[in-house]
Amino acid sequence: MPDTIDVQRLHSAALDAAANAIVITDREGIMVWVNPAFTRLTGFSAEEALGKNPRDLIKSGAHEPAFYRDLWQTVLAGNVWHGEMTNRRKDGTVYPEEQTITPVKDAQGKITHFIAIKQDLTEAKRLEAQIQQAQKMESVGHLAGGIAHDFNNLLGVITVFGELAGDGLPADDPRRADLQNIQDAVQRAATLTRQLLAFSRQQVLHPRVLDPNAVITDLMKMLGRLIGEDIEMITELDKNAGRVRIDTGQLEQVLVNLAVNARDAMPRGGKLRIATSPVQLDNNAAHQQGLERAGGYAVLTVSDTGSGMSAETQARAFEPFFTTKGTKGTGLGLATVHGIIRQSHGNIVISSTIGTGTTLTVFLPQVASHEEERRAMAREPETQGGSETVLLVEDDAAIRLAASTVLMRLGYMVIVALTGEEALAQADRHQGAIHLVISDVVLPGLDGLGLVGRLREQRPKIKALLMSGYPSDSMTRRGVEQSGLPFLEKPFSTSSLSRGVRDALDSVTPN
Ligand code: ADP
Ligand code: MG
């Protein structure tokens, strides 16, 4: 057992060591003792604090007189007061703190002192704000994704019936031009929804061979709106840049993120330049740019005349959640860009000078063979029908009607079902062959992938074609990508539907 002196010494050492600021005042609120944490929190030394009322030292003016009245009433009645308070440091900055004030009574029960224990809430509040911001982004993303999904379905219906309406018209009928205007507008709307889905990261990946110049040109108008008028946009697109294999939505996402960063770096305006060019890299040069292979690359640069980045910022810029923009930044832009580019076997490098500007250079491997392209071109014009039996599973009534109308006009025998379960029952009842199942990925109950698996237990040779605007969760998305089943993106047109169906039917292996 330590003796009394020791206990006192230990008590006082403990109070000194406490992380929380501790203040003892007399009955009138005059400070008679403070610990070192109080000085760390407020900036006032013990000498400056003792003999004063906290009111005169650290009151911030953030609270109404009633707030303090309530506090005093509580503690003078002998009760503990607990709450949050905003106070002011010696240097004038205000800070939030959590405070517990406990009255101390003498042997007669009379209050002689108050003990206040304070905890700095600055860091906790900052974290809370950050989490709130992240949650807000997530819910905006969900909302955008949800609207885009329904919107896509409607666009599919407009496309299909617009095309069907034009079918019977003579070649020189003026209504053909009206219908074409409708289709053009639908295409633009579909591009917008793709961008919304890219923003909410809910798109299905379709790496395909594309011309980066075309994607940039298509995106310019939207970028213009995003960047604002104070920034001059320049494009220098080399038509020999080459073709690359990447998902359109992802390439758009890369460009949008880089352009937004450039905008943020130029709050008082400046120049944003987007350029493309081809480059041939030997082994050495490729390794220097962090690339695995020698060969031809399409180079995409996004340059600004903004603030530039320090060496430290450059070193950390691709880290997820690294941001120099406080709560306005997510720190996810460049991390996402980096992920997309690496996934496409390319690389992205920064070169930047403080005060002069920044250039982000993206290398994407050029696709050597034109095989894939030629195949795509060859089958573009035809819309071939057939006489096979197809099972169409779609829960959206309008899409179901549009798709079945097109398929029947093409000569197919169509069985429709609203759900996976109903499709199984239909297949059970149907005596003859079913050559193909066309199913929405996301269905209430049994989903598209599950349905294909179940159908193949009974009919191992049945071909399958999945369709969706986006599978809503990443599990489903990965499942679809890994299944290797052909996939038809909504909104579809009569030609993309007829081609998708024909290709799926003609594929050699059960796909
Ligand atoms: P965020 O934009 O949300 O901060 P990013 O991952 O897009 O996150 O960017 C990370 C950081 O890299 C930014 O906070 C900024 O400091 C720096 N940065 C990115 N692009 C530029 C640029 N064009 N000019 C200057 N700094 C940039
Ligand atoms: Mg950013």
Question: Are 159 and 491 contacting, i.e. CB atoms less than 8 angstroms apart?
Answer: yes
What rounded mean pLDDT belongs to the chain?
Answer: 86
What phi, psi does 413 have (nearest 5°)?
Answer: -95, 120
Cα 387 to ligand 2 centroid, rounded to whole Å: 52
Nearest-angstrom CA–CA distance, 68 and 170: 84
Q: Tell me how far apart the alpha carbons of residues 277 and 300 are, in angstroms, rounded to a whole number.
A: 7
Task: State what percent of residues in the chain have pLDDT above 70.
Answer: 88
Distance CA 28, CA 7 (A): 29
Q: Provide mean pLDDT across the span 166-182.
A: 89
pLDDT in tens, 72-102: 999 999 999 999 999 999 999 999 999 999 9
The closest residue, in CA terms, to atom 20 on ligand 1 is 261
Q: Could you tell me the maximum CA-CA distance found in the chain, to the nearest angstrom?
A: 109
Q: Residue 296: CB within 6 Å of ligand 1?
A: no
Cα–Cα distance for residue pair 423/432, rounded to 1 Å? 15
User: Distance of CA 257 to CAs 139, 165, 252, Å?
Assistant: 19, 40, 9
Mean pLDDT computed over 469-485: 68
Report the alpha-carbon distance of residue 500 to residue 391 in Å, rounded: 14
State the sign of the Cα–Cα–Cα–Cα dihedral 396, 443, 489, 460. Answer: negative
Q: Which two tokens stand for residue 8?
A: 């006192």
Cα of 261 to ligand 1 centre, how many Å?
A: 5
**Torsions phi, psi for 462 (to 5 deg):** -65, 130
Question: Under a CB-based contact definition with an 8 Å cutoff, are residues 437 and 456 in contact?
Answer: no
Whole-angstrom distance, CA of residue 467 vs CA of residue 294: 38
Q: Is the CB–ligand 1 distance for residue 330 below 6 Å?
A: yes
What pLDDT is attached to residue 138? 64
Task: Categorize the per-residue pLDDT at 333 as very low, low, confident or very high, splitting at 50, 70 and 90.
Answer: confident
pTM of the model: 0.46
Per residue in 435-476, pLDDT tens? 999 999 888 899 999 999 999 999 999 999 998 876 545 556
CB of 337 shorter than 6 A to ligand 1: no
Q: Please report which helix (H) or strand (E) contains residue 348, including its range.
A: strand 347-353
Do the Cβ atoms of 435 and 505 come closer than 8 Å? yes
